[in-house]
Amino acid sequence: MSTRELTRLTLAEARRRLRAREFSARELVEAHLEAMARHRGLNAFITETPELALTMAAESDRRLAAGDARPLEGIPIAVKDLFCTREVRTTAASRILHNFVPPYESTVTRRLWEAGAVLLGKTNLDEFAMGSANVTSHFGPVVNPWTPPGEEPGRVPGGSSGGSAAAVAALLAPAATGTDTGGSIRQPAAFCGIVGLKPTYGRCSRWGIIAFASSLDQAGPMARTVEDCALLLEQMAGYDPLDSTSADVAVEPWSARLDAGVKGLRIGLPREYRVDGMPAEIERLWAEGAAWLRAQGAEVVEISLPHTAYALPTYYIVAPAEASSNLARYDGMRFGLRVEGRDLTETYMRTRGEGFGREVRRRILIGTYALSAGYYDAYYLKAQKVRRRIADDFREAFTRVDAILTPAAPTAAFRIGEKMDDPVAMYLNDVFTVPASLAGLPAVAVPTGLDGEGLPLALQVIGRPWDETTVLRVARALEEAADFRALPPRIAEELA
């Protein structure tokens, strides 16, 4: 098998064939390291870890030879550079952490290494995960591998987990971790034609993940198939006493339950998700998705989530408020960037002023304002109340349906540089992902087609709290019906 063919394998296939000793973990890892080196132009990785990867692969090969393989033995994984990795630089794509080497490992990545996975490197993202296009990174933008040939500077991969999504789409890694606060797993998955799952809030430990908005942040898997996401989630999820919001609920064998079908399930289409100005192609794809599920025996009904229009304004109070509090710790005193001033106050000001980029500073200002004494009730408290209404809408809907089907994003991947001088236009990207985030619900983006320019489009499935099983089952049904196998043209060309 050629090295390029090795990069085409899904996680599930690679796992099976590693166990059958058709190739070694070392060969599999080397094939991906080569692909990463060939595609540095995508800027998907901030830090590559080839030596560590080969050391981990050697251990996997020993275990595979001894018949002692762990669940993800020898599987190479890319990790969003928001997860702390022990002795491997972790930057959050910020200048303020450009030199930060954590002395500890996040719980999610620790679980992955304990399951035998191999770290390929740390992927690029929007600074502190704030963004929808991976254009706010201190390390520069990521290029979507689906960029139409010849177009400069290219399309965005979505954000904030843009490096992870681009890496998986370009076959630089079979799977990656992402984090999702308002859509950062689902929206880049949609823009890059891969599958991305945001689990129920509390499903994966937040410990060791650099905090953005703590009541919303959730880690999840990104991969090329629904099955691969399920396999990865089985290892990422689980109760962690180190995270006070980690839930003590059982990790289920999701990958074994994917093919239960959708017969008899009730699927809701929320009428409020029919937003103005949505491209007709997305509208059509949504109807097609509903038809596929109906054809497989589901009952599809229209539902209403009346507070949907308030989700974005609510999110853009709650998330900046929590961010302003979380980011107060970056003061140049104990780690990260420090820019000396004449006195302590000036040192703080210069460190934070030079360490944080524009978007992060904007959010800190908005959040600090919303939390200040005179405005707390008008903004933060109000947002908390609306958040409850939004969650109640879903609770009500789930008395009538088992899952909700929506588009994943209101557009396909746009051009790098577009929307950058208009933060509100940028924020509108999250219109379909933010409601499930505010309600803490599991939701997945599944690629289901290409638009007229050859760019991927995706649908989203939202489920009841802790019901990843149904979410993944419906996603699997969509995946099967859509039969989406396309690769980015430049990657397909390489394989030809």
Kindly identify the residues of this chain, within the stretch 417-436, that bind ligand GLN according to CB under 6 A: 430
| Residue 186 Cβ vs ligand GLN, minimum distance, rounded to whole Å | 9
SS (H, E, C) 406-433: EECCCCCCCECCCCCCCHHHHHHHHCCC
CB of 209 to ligand GLN, least distance (A): 11
Smallest gap, in angstroms, from Cβ of residue 96 to ligand GLN? 17
Active site residue 184: yes
b/e per residue 190-199 (b: at least 16 CB within 10 A): bbbbbbbbbb
Residues 176-205, interacting with ligand GLN (CB under 6 A): 180-184
Active-site pick, 161, 184, 205, 246: 184
Has 437 been annotated as catalytic?
Answer: no
Question: What is residue 115's DSSP assignment?
Answer: T
For residues 336 and 318, give the distance between their C-alpha atoms in angstroms, rounded to a whole number: 26
Nearer to ligand GLN, 170 or 434 (CB): 434
How far is it, in rounded angstroms, from Cα 141 to Cα 134? 6
Site for ligand GLN in 115-144 (CB under 6 A): 129-132
Helices (H), 11-101: 11-19, 25-38, 50-65
| Strands of 218-223's sheet in order across | 45-48, 118-123, 76-80, 175-180, 218-223, 195-198, 443-450, 456-463, 403-407, 266-270, 299-303
Whole-number Cα distances in Å, 275 to 74, 157, 383, 407, 431? 44, 22, 22, 11, 9
- Provide the 10 A C-beta neighbour count for residue 278: 17
Least distance to ligand GLN, CB of residue 155, Å: 17
Q: Considering the complex, state which of residue 145 and residue 162 has its C-beta at the smaller distance from ligand GLN.
A: 162
Alpha helix (H) residue ranges in 149-211: 162-169, 186-192
Do the beta carbons of residue 116 and residue 63 sit within 8 Å? yes
Least distance to ligand GLN, CB of residue 131, Å: 5
- Minimum gap (Å) between residue 322 Cβ and ligand GLN: 11
| Alpha carbon separation from 194 to 25, 111, 285, 337 (Å, rounded) | 24, 23, 16, 35
Q: Nearer to ligand GLN by C-beta: 351 or 437?
A: 437
Q: Are 97 and 337 in contact (CB under 8 A)?
A: yes
Site for ligand GLN in 426-485 (CB under 6 A): 430
CB of 24 to ligand GLN, least distance (A): 36
- Please tell me the count of residues contacting ligand GLN according to CB under 6 A: 13
Name the active-site residue from 80, 122, 198, 419.
Answer: 80
Taking CB under 6 A as the rule, does residue 356 contact ligand GLN? no
With respect to ligand GLN, which residue has the nearer C-beta, 292 or 379? 379
Nearest approach, Cβ of residue 388 and ligand GLN (Å): 20
For ligand GLN, the closer CB: 212 or 292: 212
Helices then strands, counting H and E runs in the chain, come out as: 17, 11
Could you say which residues in the range 40-99 bind ligand GLN, by CB under 6 A? none
Range in contact with ligand GLN (rule: CB under 6 A) among 116-124, 175-183, 274-282, 381-389: 175-183
Quote the CA–CA distance of 450 and 454 in Å, as a whole number. 5
Which strand (E) or helix (H) includes residue 153?
none
| Binding to ligand GLN in span 11-30, by CB under 6 A | none
Query: Which member of 137, 144, 160, 225 binds ligand GLN (CB under 6 A)?
Result: 160
Nearer to ligand GLN, 160 or 351 (CB): 160
Closest-CA residue to 156 (of 426, 435, 361):
426
Only segment of 38-46, 48-56, 100-108, 174-182 that touches ligand GLN (CB under 6 A): 174-182
Least gap, CB of 182 to ligand GLN (angstroms)? 3
311 sits near ligand GLN (criterion: CB under 6 A): no
- 94, 106, 160, 164: the catalytic one is 160
Q: Is omega for the bond preceding 488 within 30 degrees of 0, making it cis?
A: no
Closest of 219, 127, 112 to residue 174, by C-alpha: 112
**Half-sphere exposure (CA, 13 Å, Cβ side) for 304?**
2
- 380 vs 484, which CB is nearer to ligand GLN? 380
Contact call for residue 212 and ligand GLN (CB under 6 A)? yes
Which of 394, 384, 373, 370 has its CA nearest to residue 467?
394
User: Would you say 147 or 429 has its CB closer to ligand GLN?
Assistant: 429
Query: Residue of minimal CB distance from ligand GLN?
Result: 184
Residue 160 vs 469, nearer CB to ligand GLN? 160
The whole-angstrom separation of Cα 388 and Cα 106 is: 30
Cβ pair 205, 242 in contact under 8 A:
yes
- Confirm whether 382 is a catalytic residue: no
Q: Dump the DSSP string for 328-378.
A: GG-SSSSSS-----SSHHHHHHHHHHHHS-HHHHHHHHHHHHHHSTTTTII
Give me the residues that bind ligand GLN (CB under 6 A), please: 129-132, 160, 180-184, 212, 319, 430
Residues labelled as active-site residues: 80, 160, 184
